A and B are shown apart, each in its own frame.
Chain A
Amino acid sequence: MIAAVTVIAGLAVIFGLALGFAAVRFRTEGDPVVDRIDALLPQTQCGQCSYAGCRPYAEAIAGGQADINRCPPGGEATIRALADLLERDPKPLDPESGETKPKTVAVIDEPLCIGCTLCIQACPVDAILGAGKQMHTVIASECTGCELCVAPCPVDCIAMVEEPVTLKTWKWPHPASPTSLAHAPDPAQAAERR
């Protein structure tokens, strides 16, 4: 009886020490889950999820305070990726946070700009260039299309414009989609096996 208690107690002490040592020795800096969630988010930094950026949202998801369906720019693809990562069931986008829209960039109507710098302060990725009482402009390649600069503008000179499709960014439509080329003549129909 005493031998058994001693053995069990001894084992408990050994394992306790081993675990304690491992916890100190192999300590991870930061939270890897947050990083992995953050990597899946579109980094629009738009705050539509009600958090102040993608990383805070990632932290909230990891902490269990937020659901995975609150990111409209990421849309269904992001929800699915998050569901895969966290081994949960995917669910439809929360309509409270907004709806998925095509990607846009902000464009400042430069003659109207009064140089108030309010949009510069609102931009989460520093994509607006300008100074007090000087005309501002958007660096289009850095703009995430978050729309956070639109509301603060006192003269309403910022518009969200859809990015034009070029030969480099054009995508073949899904063959089953209504925009597909299925109605177009299919060259392969002209080929005949001999």
Chain B
Amino acid sequence: MSTPRLWRFHGGLKLDPRTTRAAAEPIVTVPVPPRLVLPLSQHVGQPAEPTVAVGERVLRGQPIARPSGYVGAKVHASSSGVVTGIADQPVPHPSGLSAPCIVIDTDGMDEAWEGYEPLDSFAELGAAELRARVRAAGVVGLGGAAFPTAVKLGAGSGLKLLILNAAECEPYICCDERLLCERPDEVLTGAQVLMRALEIGRCCIAIEEDKPAARRALEAALAARGQPGIEVIPVPAIYPEGGERQLIKVLTGEEVPARGVPPDIGYLCHNVGTAAAVGRAVLRGEPLISRIVTVTGEGVAHPRNLEVRLGTPVADLVASCGGYTASAAHLLMGGAMMGFPLADDTLPVIKGTNCIVAASREEIRPRAPAMPCIRCGECAEVCPAQLLPQQLYWHARAAELDQLGDYHLFDCIECGCCDVACPSQIPLTQYFRYAKTELWARDRDRIRSDLARERFEARKQRIEAEQEARKRRLEEKARAAEQARGSEAARKAMIEDALERVQARRNQGDGESATDDREPGR
């Protein structure tokens, strides 16, 4: 086999992968926990709307929440049981906030919902039907960002190449590697479905060179199936190669435009785990109710990959890996570069959870105090988005948000390379995240203030119009009175009229008071 030509993206780092221990162990299934917590908001877009009520019995795979917009995904019950609450629960998020969740107390029977029919073959299904099936199964990107897959499948037609991302470049994470070792057929089936749904003839599966076992397994499965159009491409292990822009650059030499998306230049990336989930959703009619999670770090006894029902608390995952070791000090969700610390281990696994790290004190040392920037330029050397992190840092630190746009803050992928490269230990990525959320908040405020201005102006106009109308009415009245006053006869008639009215009212009043004690009616 000839090796295809590869390119190199700008910057990046060679990192210690730290996957040796977990990647060698087979995948173990975590038992269904007594309580599942399923957040309604697991990715960008609006939160899903619950379609079940508290007290209702649900079955495994039953849809329990529907997306409230186009960019959204269904949520399914991960096992059978009773919905015991739809309320705010702590969710895995850097903020540590609570958000609306559906809580299911499982009954241990794990009874399946009858709403899906498996297919023998998807050959007779068209692109739209395949997409509908993926949407019904609530499949989202399993690489971490959890973007709804069906939305991505609607990206456009006439694409050149489907890229399946198995680069998995972040230290600690090896769930895709293990998936390829054990279930390469599922991935290849998913690849076929995706190719058909997108009407693309070519697909390449990119895998980092330091995962030879996974590559061999995949190549063996591919050879056994004799699949045309699919090829496996080993790529050098450089972080953040798993970023889709970086991977596209490596494979094709082309760059995705700054404000664009890969389909703009004819490519589409999916994670291999997502492909397997798509294959299962379309052929077996299985919704996304479980995923593979890497549990690793020096803080767990037996690091390995686990097949986990969504909504399972992190503590159950650790228990399935032999529990914590004495050195466990920190808990992270996600990998070493883009993960975030978890407050405790009761938080649930969600669709985007690819890794749990229980780290020892030696693994994650406290960050040294930040020293002043010495303008060495190391950060710009390693930035895969070719930004100038030190310029961004100056402006973000001074909260000069307007200038950040000029330095393309929103092209930052928050990979953390600059943090690692910085000799002054400045938490650069934290500054960029801070600046991004500040700018988003400012945009929201601007929309609201525009609305308020509009309403204020409208009210002012309304009040002015009302005053104008009142003034006109009064003037008219005054004019009428003036006219009436004009002639003597008319004035007399007016006085007569008024007297008569008074007389009539008085008579009526007398009559009423007089009839009080008598029988009514005359």
* Chain A positions near chain B (C-beta within 8 angstroms): 38, 41-45, 53-55, 124-127, 142, 144, 165-167, 169-176, 180-182, 184-194
What separation, in Å, do the CA atoms of A175 and B515 have in the docked complex?
A: 87
List the A residue with the shortest CB-CB distance to B452.
A43
- On whether the beta carbons of A186 and B437 are closer than 8 Å, the reply is no
**CB-contact partner of A43 in B239, B363, B449, under 8 A:** B449
What separation, in Å, do the CA atoms of A111 and B328 have in the docked complex?
A: 53
Q: Shortest CB–CB separation between residue A172 and chain B, in angstroms?
A: 4
Q: Shortest CB–CB separation between residue A174 and chain B, in angstroms?
A: 5
Q: Shortest CB–CB separation between residue B434 and chain A, in angstroms?
A: 4
Residue interface bits B407-446, CB-to-A below 8 A is 1, else 0: 0000000001001100000010111011011100100110
What separation, in Å, do the CA atoms of A172 and B94 have in the docked complex?
A: 8
- On whether the beta carbons of A43 and B364 are closer than 8 Å, the reply is no
- On whether the beta carbons of B41 and A181 are closer than 8 Å, the reply is no
Given A43-B453, A127-B455, A167-B99, do A189 and B366 touch, yes or no (CB 8 Å)? Answer: yes
Q: Which B residues are CB-close (under 8 A) to A172?
A: 94, 430, 433-434, 436-437
What separation, in Å, do the CA atoms of A144 and B444 have in the docked complex?
A: 13
- On whether the beta carbons of A187 and B339 are closer than 8 Å, the reply is yes
Interface residues of B in 320-353 (CB under 8 A from A): 329-330, 332, 334-341
The CB with the most chain A CB atoms within 10 A, among B365, B370, B427, B431, is that of B427
B261 located at the interface, meaning its Cβ lies under 8 Å from any Cβ of chain A in the complex:
no
**CB-contact partner of B364 in A166, A182, A185, under 8 A:** A185
Given A175-B431, A188-B429, A189-B366, do A194 and B99 touch, yes or no (CB 8 Å)? Answer: no
Given A45-B456, A125-B459, do A187 and B430 touch, yes or no (CB 8 Å)? Answer: no
Q: Which A residues are CB-close (under 8 A) to B364?
A: 185-187, 189-190
What separation, in Å, do the CA atoms of A176 and B427 have in the docked complex?
A: 10
B259 located at the interface, meaning its Cβ lies under 8 Å from any Cβ of chain A in the complex:
no
B15 located at the interface, meaning its Cβ lies under 8 Å from any Cβ of chain A in the complex:
yes
Q: Which B residues are CB-close (under 8 A) to A189?
A: 364-367
Q: Shortest CB–CB separation between residue A79 and chain B, in angstroms?
A: 13
B480 located at the interface, meaning its Cβ lies under 8 Å from any Cβ of chain A in the complex:
no
Given A125-B455, A126-B455, A126-B458, do A186 and B449 touch, yes or no (CB 8 Å)? Answer: no
**CB-contact partner of A185 in B15, B99, B359, under 8 A:** B359
B519 located at the interface, meaning its Cβ lies under 8 Å from any Cβ of chain A in the complex:
no
Q: Shortest CB–CB separation between residue A146 and chain B, in angstroms?
A: 9
Q: How many A-B residue pairs have CB under 8 A?
A: 143
Q: Which B residues are CB-close (under 8 A) to A182?
A: 367, 427, 430
* Chain B positions near chain A (C-beta within 8 angstroms): 13-16, 18, 41, 91, 93-95, 97, 99, 171-172, 239, 329-330, 332, 334-341, 357, 359, 363-367, 370, 397, 399, 416, 419-420, 427, 429-431, 433-434, 436-438, 441, 444-445, 448-453, 455-460
**CB-contact partner of B452 in A44, A176, A188, under 8 A:** A44
- On whether the beta carbons of B419 and A188 are closer than 8 Å, the reply is yes
Q: Shortest CB–CB separation between residue A83 and chain B, in angstroms?
A: 13
- On whether the beta carbons of A175 and B434 are closer than 8 Å, the reply is yes
Q: Can you pick out 30 interface pairs between chain A and chain B where the beta carbons lie within 8 Å of each other? A: A42-B445, A43-B449, A43-B450, A53-B460, A55-B453, A125-B452, A126-B458, A126-B459, A142-B451, A165-B97, A169-B444, A172-B430, A172-B436, A175-B370, A175-B430, A175-B434, A176-B397, A181-B430, A184-B341, A185-B330, A185-B332, A185-B364, A186-B427, A187-B339, A187-B364, A188-B337, A188-B420, A189-B367, A190-B336, A194-B16
**CB-contact partner of A191 in B420, B452, B457, under 8 A:** B420
Given A43-B452, A175-B434, A176-B397, do A190 and B419 touch, yes or no (CB 8 Å)? Answer: no
List the B residue with the shortest CB-CB distance to A185.
B330
Q: Shortest CB–CB separation between residue A57 and chain B, in angstroms?
A: 12
List the B residue with the shortest CB-CB distance to A191.
B336
**CB-contact partner of B97 in A144, A166, A180, under 8 A:** A166
